[in-house]
Amino acid sequence: MQTRGKGPAAAVIAAAGRGTRMDLDINKQYIEIQGMPILAMTIRKFENCGLIDEIVVVANKDEIDYCERNVIDSGSARSRPSLKVEKAGSARSIAALKRYQQTVE
């Protein structure tokens, strides 16, 4: 049985890594496994979790369009929960982390 405390619950997915040690032409979160980017698989898991109200993907500013076009639009059901892509280090992404940190303290 899944339960949670009061207030909204969010998944904040850090997707700003470069994966330079992997020596690939694509960042690690966009590597496809069985035809789906790893990031899309992660989002799908959170979308299917009844405890999550909002998903915030924190991506590099120069990859937000790519992320929205090739990961979010292609792999997400977008039915539930709310899904947003934020720029890494932006005031909005930092505010999201702080807002949800307060709900678990």
Beta strand extents in 1-105 (DSSP E only): 10-15, 32-33, 36-37, 54-59, 82-87
The CATH number for 25's domain is 3.90.550.10
Residue 42 CA to residue 13 CA, distance in Å, equals 8
For residue 1, being part of any structural domain is answered with no
pLDDT digits (tens, 9 = 90+) for 5-64: 666 788 888 888 777 788 888 888 888 899 888 998 998 888 888 888 888 888 888 888
The boundaries of the domain holding residue 40 are: 10-104
